[in-house]
Amino acid sequence: MIHNIPYLAVVALVAIGFWAMIFRKNLIKVIIGIAIIESGVNFFLVALGYRSGAYAPIYTHAPSGQMVLPVPQALTLTSIVIGVAVLALMLSLAVQIYKKQGTLDTRKGVLKK
Amino acid sequence: MSKRDLVGVISLLILIGFLGLGAASMREFGVVDRAYMDDYIISHSQDEVGANNAVTSVVFDYRGFDTLGEATILFAAVVGVIVIFRREVHE
Amino acid sequence: MSEMSKIVRSISNLLLPFILIYGFYIILHGHLTPGGGFQGGAVVASGLVMVLVAYGSERFASWVKEKHLSVLESIGALGFISLAFLGLSTAFFYNFLAGKGGLFGDIPPEGSNPGALNTAGTLPLMNLAVGLKVIAGLASIVLVMGLASHYFKQGGENDT
């Protein structure tokens, strides 16, 4: 199990993100928990394509040897941009909720009847 | 603790159990046995695309359609943020 | 939001050209070194956000209007789509400039080499279009959010 430490780190990140989503009352802290989960998933994608002792898949001044798989890195790039877009929309909705309610507490708000 | 917190703790423990089971039974980190598509891309990205960077040739040439979808998502997010913050005339 | 002190404003004036040059270098050399349109666009947008935070959103909105930013973003998106449609005689998104010897048409030598800028077909043009789109998009998100903070009353509660 000692050679699976990156995958255990992914499990730790996702668990911390879900704990922040479930057990916190402030809306901004819930949004930060969602961002931590997205970071864990991106880390998992990049860690899948690693070869031991290999170099970056770029031919400019490249040392001789094997190269890491390039396709998971391309998919992670798309995933990071989608995470930024979703985070921007979540934060602007949180600003509108604060404007209507006056508080950011999810259990004491006016909108929740 | 209240009933809501108890349900939260139990579901979090079940989630960590499933994820840990999956992480312990993954293949070994750093050993890839079947990578035919990536080996083709690494060996042919200099004569077909002409780029030194294999990752950029995957993002813009071999899988350019996904980049089109990603650009559309970014555009839709910017439009959504501008529409949410639009104010009436002299609010 | 209001502006910050004189020290912060002078340092952000001093740092802005270096950040812009660094970001455009990353965008332009996307086919030779790690980077590309999205990464370099994020660097340039964070330089513009640094100027917005240092000078206050009211003064920044008097220099950069919101409709100019949306015109720039539309130019970037339409440029990307038209580059995809120009190779339609063979396939959608076909790299019609690679290997033909014209603009951006050389083939790099096999194996490890110092990179030449004239290679890789439509990739540098697509990098420029996507970089322009990301710069305008991220800057207009932060500008709209900064302008909306004027209509709030003060105070709030600290919850967990």
Q: Is the pLDDT of residue C157 over 50?
A: no
Least confident range from A43-52, A68-77, C94-103: namely C94-103
Q: Give me the sign of the Cα torsion angle C1, C2, C7, C10.
A: positive
pLDDT at C160 over 50: no
Among the partner-chain residues C31, C36, C130, the one whose CB lies closest to the CB of B71 is C130
How many residues are there in chain C? 160
- Classified as helix, coil or strand, C88 is coil
ipTM of the prediction: 0.86
Give me the pLDDT at residue A101, please: 84
- List phi, psi (to 5°) of C113: -150, 155
pLDDT at A99: 86
Mean pLDDT, residues C102-124 taken together: 83
- Whether C98 and B50 lie within 8 Å, measured CB to CB: yes
- Provide the phi-psi class of C35: left if phi over 0, else alpha when psi is between -120 and 50, else beta: left
- Contact across the interface for A71 and B58, Cβ inside 8 Å: yes
Any long-range contacts for A94-100 (C-beta under 8 Å, 24+ apart)? A94/A27, A94/A28, A94/A31, A95/B85, A95/C145, A95/C148, A96/B84, A97/A27, A98/C152, A98/C156, A99/C151, A99/C152
pLDDT tens-place string over residues A56-106: 999 988 888 899 999 999 999 999 999 999 999 999 999 998 888 888 888
Q: What percent of chain A has pLDDT over 70?
A: 96
Please tell me the predicted confidence (pLDDT) of residue A107.
Answer: 83
Residue B54, chain A, CB below 8 Å: the answer is yes
Give the containing element (helix H, strand E) for B56. Answer: helix B54-57
What are the Cα distances from residue C145, in Å, to A61, A91, A97, A99, C49?
A: 43, 9, 14, 13, 11
Coil, helix or strand at residue C154: coil
Residue carrying structure tokens 């508080």: A103
Closest among A83, C45, C138, C129 to B60, alpha carbons compared: C129
Query: Which class does domain A2-52+67-101 fall in?
Result: mainly alpha
Q: How far is B45 from chain A (nearest CA, A)?
A: 10
Phi, psi of B11 (to 5 degrees): -70, -35
C-alpha to C-alpha distance for C134 and C26, rounded to whole angstroms: 13
More confident residue, A6 or A111: A6
Q: Could C159 and A25 be called an inter-chain contact, meaning their C-beta atoms sit closer than 8 Å? A: yes
pLDDT at A112: 56
- List pLDDT tens digits, range C49-64: 999 999 998 899 999 8
Chain C residues inside the 8 Å CB shell of B60: 36, 122-123, 126-127
Across the interface, whether the CB atoms of A64 and C148 are under 8 A apart is answered: no
Average pLDDT of chain C?
A: 88
B12 touches chain C (CB under 8 A): no
Chain-chain contact of A61 with C159 (C-beta, under 8 angstroms): no
Q: How far is A65 from chain B (nearest CA, A)?
A: 12
Question: Which DSSP symbol is given to C149?
Answer: G
Contacts 24+ apart (CB under 8 A), C4-11: C4/C53, C4/C54, C4/C55, C4/C56, C8/C54, C9/C54, C9/C55
Interface contacts (A, B; CB < 8 Å): 115
Does B73 or B1 have the greater pLDDT score? B73
Residue keyed to tokens 């910050």: C4
From the list C38, C145, C160, the residue facing A26 with the nearest CB is C160
